Structure 1
Amino acid sequence: MVAAIEIAALRTEGIHCPLGLDVDRPRLSWSFGRPGDRGGRQSAYRIAVATSEERLKTGMPDAWDSGIVSTGAHTSIAYEGASLLPRQRYYWRVTVWDEQGQSSTGAAAWWETGMLSGDRWTGRWIGASAGAGGERRLVQLRRSFDVKGPVARARAYISGLGHYEMRLNGAKVGRRELEPGWTDYDKTVLYSIHDLTSRVRQGENAVGVLLGNGFYRVAGGRYAKFKDSYGEPACLAELVIDYDDGTTEKIVTDRTWSASESPLTFSCIYGGEDYDAGLEQEGWDEPGFAENDSWSRACELPPPRGKLLAQSSPPLAVMKRFPASVVSEPRQGVYVYDLGQNISGWPSIRITGPQGARVKLKPAELLTDEGLANQKYSGSPYELNYALKGGSIEEWRPRFSYYGFRYVQVEGAVPCGKESGGKAGLPVLHGLEGEMIYPDTPACGGFRCSDPLLNRIHENINWAILGNMKSIFTDCPHREKLGWLEQLHLMGPSVMFNYDIEALLDKIMRDMADAQLPSGMVPTTAPEYVVFKEPWHIFRDAAAWGGSYILAAWEMLQRYGSTGPLERHYDGMRRYLDYLTGTADGFILRAGLGDWYDIGPKGPGFAQNTPVELAETAVYFGLARAMRQIAIVLGKEEDAAAYASLAESIKQAFNEAFYDSSSGQYAEGSDAAMAMPLAIGLAPEERRGALLSRLVRHISERGWMTNAGDVGHRYVLLALARGGRSDVVYRMTRSTDTPGYGYQIAHGATTLTEAWDGPTVGKSQNHFMLGHLEEWLYGGLAGLDYRYQPGTGRFIVKVKPAVVGDVAWAEAWQELRPGKASVRWELGPGRTIAIKAEIPANSEGRIYIPAAQDAEVRKSGPEADYLGREDGYAVYRTGPGCYFFKYKNL
């Protein structure tokens, strides 16, 4: 008999088989395959964890046996077994039972612990020789070691600050870039674990480490958003070799390592990188290398203050490559390459030429009127300089600095094929491509529809998301590279529809905790590399930014069923809400950034249309309401009651302060002022219809253009969609002659820009802060949305399409924690509409059919319960399975 439910994938702390976790009680989750004909709901589970795969296979789990637990929960199950050991691999699997009592056991997965504690490290932080200083070249480190017998397992535990590249026996180890992830190094320092088992060999081996400054040391020298340093670049590493005979050997960083200046003559996360290939020492990272006088003993350096923690979020890697498609020569001897796409990363070149010849690369998002690289809005000067070693074709790209760009201006070299027209003796550039870096995390969703413009907007938003997804979510990949926090909750759902970011968000939650002040305030950026002081303190303290500490954790619960962040950060979230309450004036927040970057007569920047107090207090209310829900989930009933009372007090004060009964609107009636009370729940029920009508009228009077900004825009879309006015969202979105998405594309944007009219007004050409439409494309137009239900441990998948405008069909799919959900709807002849909806196992569906009262609805698939009509939709409750609906509006 075939089981009605099957296990498909296992995750530990949101990751498939993580190599290195410093978590005492990791959270375990599993998803399911496609449900069978009888559906598939979990009624119970049993988790087995063992220290060897053989023990697991033979039914002797020596770490933990949960026993049979009767529940439908399958996410964020805390490990409750024996104390975890460092550097130990744990194998686990789960057996589930369906509602008919049939069991199914999935394949085994594993996780491996890291050091688990900072006092287990025996290596020392090392770097350049004592007394070296100033703007010297960056350091490289090396150590030879012997492998004395057959190896069972070899690992490298390593952190290099600000960034490092590890090499073994002449080749780079792995694909990771810009390691480790950015943190407040006074609070947290991340290290990585590399599996070297297949890389080490019998006899002599050699390990090499190149160091870069990163955010650990921003010394300036060219463009820099700020200048600061936590210390000198340094490395801590332990290579641990477990032999087949049961013995273990460690090679750790100490004064037995050697140090030398590397060919990196300049490296700045903001200003670029210079590399002199003539300074390379061939074989420096290989066995048998003879060190010359440039090498000396490594120097022990003071360790950073931060706690060492294994990096569990997805590593950055080169994920896409873009060959240059166009070459122009706007000025004699100056060539400009066009990638055709705005990306974040670096250019990579293939070049030949005489030794010592130098080529300069200047990346940019825009071009000047003359056709040269324009860095006016992205941080200038940023440049990359490469000095050739001479000989055969040389390949180079920077290691520790990246930028946002589409164009690359080349000076000092001639493109291949144009040698005859160039200056004699110049190097020849045989190829240039852009390498885009972002976390190595799979796409978990997709959207398409019949409208090419909407598809292009979807693509541009995704390019902007990927362009700013690093070890934090940056505001832009060039000028600032800072983790402005409002994006986490305002754009969180849009990102989660497309990418699995549970582990990355967990890391960013720690960043926010590290940034929190003793007063409870969470600053607007985390890590807080720049502290905005008076008179610019307004840029440091804003509820829509710091509030991500609460709202991001709440979103993680709703999207991933992840309770770990709520438990780990509850005290910090509580202290932040207490801070806001302590600074409020009669439950009104008087300061902050408000609806940043809205559309007004003064150009983009400070809020112009909506009182800052209104926007900040509306978010404050949302935070109190979210904390009430979080307290309920965690069983803190007294706290929940207190937060409910706080929310009611804020609501009353808000309406007294901002609602004008004579005009029937909030404040001056901006889009954000009308939409935020509707979307967040501040507007009383009796006002909602009139407020929505007024919002629609204002938008239509502007030619279907909103005047909302960074904060207000998401709430405008939510208010319209929830109010049944997706037709207005559609008309706003397709407009190409007013500032907005269509306008950006009509004027050549290939990513989402910072300002609504970004391609013509300038500013950054790669921001994702206004990409809130993505949430509507999935949850509104295609009609696919979902929420975790803490009481049941299951997900409710909602399918509610919006049939609008000239859209003939739309579809979306999503890999949820329980499994794959999808929807496709299309219009047919004779006013017929067909909907196909896929509800994953162990989930419940709510399918809304946009049918008229007298429409004939035909259904096929598993059993579905008709619940009646709601706002023009016929509503069905379903279990797991694939459902088909076809109807004709008479």
Structure 2
Amino acid sequence: MTLLSLLALGAVAITPIHLKCEYQIDPLGIDATRPRLSWELEAAGYGAKQTAYQVRVATTPLKLSKPDLWDSLQVTSGETINLEYGGRALSSSERVSWSVRVWDEHGKASPWSPPATWTMGVLSPADWEAKWIAAAGAEKETLELQKVFKVRPGLRRALAHVCGLGQYELAINGDKVGEEAFSPGWTNYRKTCLYDTRDITRQLRRGDNIANLLLGNGMYRVHGGRYTKFTGSFGPLCAIGQIRLEYADGTTDLVGTDETWQCRPGPITFSSVYGGEDYDGRRVGVGDWEPVRIIKGPGGELHGSNRAAPPINAFDLLKPKSSKEISSTTDVYDMGQNASLMPFLVASGPAGSIVRITPAELVKEDGTVDRSSVGGGQAYWQYTLAGKGKESYFPHFFYHGCRYLQVERIAADNGDLPTVQTVEAVVVHSASPAVGTFDCSNQLFNRIHTLVRWAQRSNMVSVLTDCPHRERLGWLEQYHLNGPALRYEFDLARLFEKGMSDMADSQLASGLIPDIAPEYTVFQGGFRDSPEWGSAYVLVPWQQYLWTGDIGLLRRHYDGMKRYVAYLQGKSKNGIVSHGLGDWYDLGPGAPGYAQLTPIPLTATAFFYQDTVILAQVARRLELADDAVRLERQAAEIRSAFNREFYDPTKGYYATGSQTANAIPLVMGLAERENRSSVLGKIVADVRDHGDALTAGDVGYRYLLRALADGDRSDVVFDMNKGDEHPGYGYQLKMGATSLTEAWDAGRSSSQNHFMLGQINEWFYHDLAGIAPSEVGPGFRHIVFHPAVVGDIKWVDATFASVRGMIESHWKVRGKQITYEVLVPPNCTADIYVPSSDAKSVRVVTGSAWATSVAEGVYHVPAGRYVFTADAP
């Protein structure tokens, strides 16, 4: 085929778009010495792909034509993801510009992309011309720090690099810098302290300027007084930061935290990540400034934005759906949605009068809030009025998962009550970009999708929390069991990178990865050491590789992953690992908790096997042949031991025959080929015997979904989730849930906002829509489209913004015909399995010249939009 005929069919030049550095657009505070650069490609027509690229990096956009930092020259490669900067060493706070062009499959060069930028952070401890500062006297509940500094004429740029612990807000001349909340992210502060880089040029003025830092406790310092999950402290409230002032004449001034800063107690009189926040409006701007003292800090290394999760931002504003008067001084507001919330209050009244807002997920029969699902005990926001007319309050350092807000008005000393004008709620969570959309003709499934997504949103902060109220801890099994379900919805590459750093910081000398990271409190037994939880340290970077094509996490954490697998090997006996929590919260005869239906050694050993297999694959990709051979041999030994211990050849199933016991061996490749059919049949029979109901728990449910879908039995998944009579998603909705609950039966004593059982969203995208990554081309370089047409579903629409571009999958059944449409982004290929009742009926309506039939009803295609028709399944 000639070039002219290719162009006639729609092949066109490609253009690089969406330039990113370390997964961020124009980021600030990069302290990786060789930042990684990525881009997507835009093209119309078919077969568009990159065959080469050229990156230019310069100190200013004007110098990109003759770059003074780096010119990669033309590199023959189709890669667009995480290409390392290869120029001269960059300096702290340096801002650079970069641009890229690419060559298409015909050797035609694209135009240069518009310039993008990144700004370096503080690259070494020696570049911090600042000291850790804290209050000179007794520890304060919150702390205000202040520095007056001068700005000379000719200011060109001003950057602030700041870490305030536990949480901080920076203000310049009285105005808060940025919209983020709860900065910096939660870490093990003995190992890692995160700092932010902010451009404050526009907030400065010639002459005197005032920098203020407001500090609150966060996870850094947890104390009692109200409800708390645990107590502990990394030290006093403290901060380190420096403001860099660059002038047009080439000179630079640095304003670092040191002995010249001053401090005083802040207006927040109580600050607890669990118990709430009390703010006294009378104390704003009040109090004598005192000298600070210099301290050593908590000990952790300072790291910038490439090691941090995205910031926490405000999103939806919820107005009350209804309210109920409990007494003359108390009202309960129903915000209509259980979410991670912060209230916005407008009130007026005498000085010293108080408005107290207590959050809860449930209400009692009398209409008052019921805090049983959020840990019980007291937790609230409290605002003391200054008596200055209409006053507004929005919290600084406390959020809470809730639906209901109980608002109490407490009189001042003169007996007068405040008046409440406005009570609204702001949804806060990670600013990880949304990347997926799913919709189908089954409205129950759409409601389930939304139910899960609210729980996902509510638990995305700087760690993936289990719940946004009672615990707020990073329980690690969710990172991998819900990894795909999360990744279809949000761009979580940065959050998962940060999570891996938390795991590494928490790893013990023995190799153990605790069940929570950061490990703020030490639990006992399986709550500290459960293979299904600790295995996240091996499984998360592998998922990151499949979803983004990024091998960096595998390389960076390989030694730690090896140590964890060696730890499990040391705990095993004859190839069997026997400790842990097992299939947590499965549906058995007793109350939910430890596995009831599946032996704990079965799940523990299966994860030991899966970790070993994946580590061997990682070793192969890292070209560590000796490790790979040893691990492959070890995996084979574990597999043999597993089948000897748990498979019953006379019954044709594993262990107790529970859904989890049979699903996990199928999905992990433990089941022998000749036994797979009987094992799958047992799963189907068990679901049917329970009235098309599930019994699998937190650990097993994802594998139940995958075993059925991979075994071409998505019809059974549909039947399990189509109704509301048994504990499950529909049942939770019937019980009034607006976010996914902790227990399948939505029990009132369990959390009403927990995403651990939310793996169904993976099935919506991966199986109903049929969008799947492939090891053949990680990072969706190669895509597998294989939709399941089941039940009464007549159409599905799904989109997914992958790291390589937008992927779409749409199918619709009309009468006896199905129409299936997919979009493959530039630089990618795909295998498309067209659903039909007769593969011979499949027709390529759009893109036929580019679709290669590899089997009946299966096509291999390059980039482009394709439409197929067939006899409906």
Identity %: 41
* Residue 353 of structure 2: aligned partner: 357
2:541 matches 1:553: yes
Counterpart selection for 1:769 from 741, 745, 756: 756
* Residue 4 of structure 2: aligned partner: none
Report the 3-state secondary structure (helix = DSSP H, G, I; strand = E; otherwise coil) of the residue aligned with 1:198.
helix
Amino acid at match of 2:796: A
Report the 3-state secondary structure (helix = DSSP H, G, I; strand = E; otherwise coil) of the residue aligned with 2:23.
coil
* Residue 25 of structure 1: aligned partner: 34
For residues 634 and 512 of structure 1, the distance between their equivalents in structure 2, rounded to whole angstroms, comes to 21
* Residue 50 of structure 2: aligned partner: 42
Query: Within 5 A, what are the aligned runs for 1:136-151?
Result: 136-151=140-155
* Residue 418 of structure 1: aligned partner: none
Amino acid at match of 1:850: P
Residues 788, 795 of structure 1: 8 Å contact kept: no
Residues 160, 242 of structure 2: 8 Å contact kept: yes
Counterpart selection for 1:686 from 674, 690, 700: 674
2:450 matches 1:433: no
Counterpart selection for 2:797 from 797, 805, 811: 811
Residues 413, 429 of structure 1: 8 Å contact kept: no
Counterpart selection for 2:810 from 817, 824, 835: 824
CA offset digits 1:652-687 (Å, max 9, x no partner)? 110000001122110010100010001111101111
Query: Within 5 A, what are the aligned runs for 1:124-523?
Result: 124-130=131-137, 132-133=138-139, 136-281=140-285, 294-312=288-306, 313-379=309-375, 380-412=377-409, 425-523=416-514
Residues 471, 504 of structure 1: 8 Å contact kept: yes
Amino acid at match of 1:410: V
Amino acid at match of 2:808: S
Residues 510, 567 of structure 2: 8 Å contact kept: yes
1:866 CA displacement: 0.7
Query: Within 5 A, what are the aligned runs for 1:803-882?
Result: 803-829=789-815, 831-853=816-838, 855-862=840-847, 863-869=850-856, 874-882=857-865
For residues 230 and 794 of structure 1, the distance between their equivalents in structure 2, rounded to whole angstroms, comes to 42
Residues 346, 397 of structure 1: 8 Å contact kept: yes
* Residue 101 of structure 2: aligned partner: 95
* Residue 578 of structure 2: aligned partner: 590
1:63 CA displacement: 2.2
1:429 CA displacement: 0.9
CA offset digits 1:78-123 (Å, max 9, x no partner)? 2222222211112222221122111113222121110011221121
Counterpart selection for 1:11 from 20, 26, 30: 20
Amino acid at match of 2:821: K
Report the 3-state secondary structure (helix = DSSP H, G, I; strand = E; otherwise coil) of the residue aligned with 2:195.
strand
What TM-score results when the alignment is normalised by the length of structure 1?
A: 0.94
Report the 3-state secondary structure (helix = DSSP H, G, I; strand = E; otherwise coil) of the residue aligned with 1:377.
helix
1:505 CA displacement: 1.0
CA offset digits 1:335-386 (Å, max 9, x no partner)? 1001000011321111111111011110001111221111112122111111
* Residue 698 of structure 1: aligned partner: 686
Report the 3-state secondary structure (helix = DSSP H, G, I; strand = E; otherwise coil) of the residue aligned with 1:16.
coil
Change (3 A) 1:788 1:61: farther
* Residue 620 of structure 1: aligned partner: 608
Query: Within 5 A, what are the aligned runs for 1:566-577?
Result: 566-577=554-565
Amino acid at match of 1:266: F
Change (3 A) 1:761 1:700: farther
CA offset digits 1:25-55 (Å, max 9, x no partner)? 222211111x332421111222222222122
1:794 CA displacement: 6.6
For residues 96 and 3 of structure 1, the distance between their equivalents in structure 2, rounded to whole angstroms, comes to 13
Change (3 A) 1:625 1:489: same
* Residue 3 of structure 2: aligned partner: none
2:724 matches 1:724: no
1:788 CA displacement: 5.5
Residues 547, 780 of structure 2: 8 Å contact kept: no
Give the number of aligned pairs: 856
Report the 3-state secondary structure (helix = DSSP H, G, I; strand = E; otherwise coil) of the residue aligned with 1:641.
helix
1:402 CA displacement: 1.5
For residues 444 and 46 of structure 2, the distance between their equivalents in structure 1, rounded to whole angstroms, comes to 40
For residues 144 and 548 of structure 2, the distance between their equivalents in structure 1, rounded to whole angstroms, comes to 42
Counterpart selection for 1:55 from 63, 73, 79: 63
Amino acid at match of 2:784: K
Residues 318, 435 of structure 1: 8 Å contact kept: yes
Amino acid at match of 2:290: S
For residues 602 and 762 of structure 1, the distance between their equivalents in structure 2, rounded to whole angstroms, comes to 15
For residues 106 and 625 of structure 1, the distance between their equivalents in structure 2, rounded to whole angstroms, comes to 42
* Residue 663 of structure 1: aligned partner: 651
For residues 649 and 138 of structure 1, the distance between their equivalents in structure 2, rounded to whole angstroms, comes to 56
Residues 512, 522 of structure 1: 8 Å contact kept: yes
Amino acid at match of 1:310: G
Amino acid at match of 1:835: Y
* Residue 727 of structure 2: aligned partner: 739
How large is the Cα RMSD of the aligned pairs? 1.7
Moved more, 69-78 or 540-549: 69-78
* Residue 636 of structure 2: aligned partner: 648
Amino acid at match of 2:599: P
For residues 659 and 857 of structure 1, the distance between their equivalents in structure 2, rounded to whole angstroms, comes to 41
Counterpart selection for 2:74 from 59, 68, 75: 68
CA offset digits 1:193-221 (Å, max 9, x no partner)? 11101111112211111110111111211
1:495 CA displacement: 0.7
Amino acid at match of 2:717: V
For residues 115 and 803 of structure 2, the distance between their equivalents in structure 1, rounded to whole angstroms, comes to 18
For residues 401 and 45 of structure 2, the distance between their equivalents in structure 1, rounded to whole angstroms, comes to 49
For residues 42 and 544 of structure 1, the distance between their equivalents in structure 2, rounded to whole angstroms, comes to 40
Residues 783, 829 of structure 2: 8 Å contact kept: yes
Amino acid at match of 2:311: P
Change (3 A) 1:793 1:799: closer
* Residue 419 of structure 1: aligned partner: none
Residues 21, 113 of structure 1: 8 Å contact kept: yes
Moved more, 459-468 or 377-386: 377-386
* Residue 702 of structure 2: aligned partner: 714
For residues 245 and 341 of structure 2, the distance between their equivalents in structure 1, rounded to whole angstroms, comes to 35
Residues 830, 861 of structure 2: 8 Å contact kept: yes
* Residue 870 of structure 2: aligned partner: 887
Residues 73, 794 of structure 1: 8 Å contact kept: no
1:61 CA displacement: 2.1
* Residue 122 of structure 2: aligned partner: 115
For residues 350 and 839 of structure 2, the distance between their equivalents in structure 1, rounded to whole angstroms, comes to 81
For residues 154 and 429 of structure 2, the distance between their equivalents in structure 1, rounded to whole angstroms, comes to 37
Amino acid at match of 1:844: T
Unaligned runs of 5+ in 2: 1-6
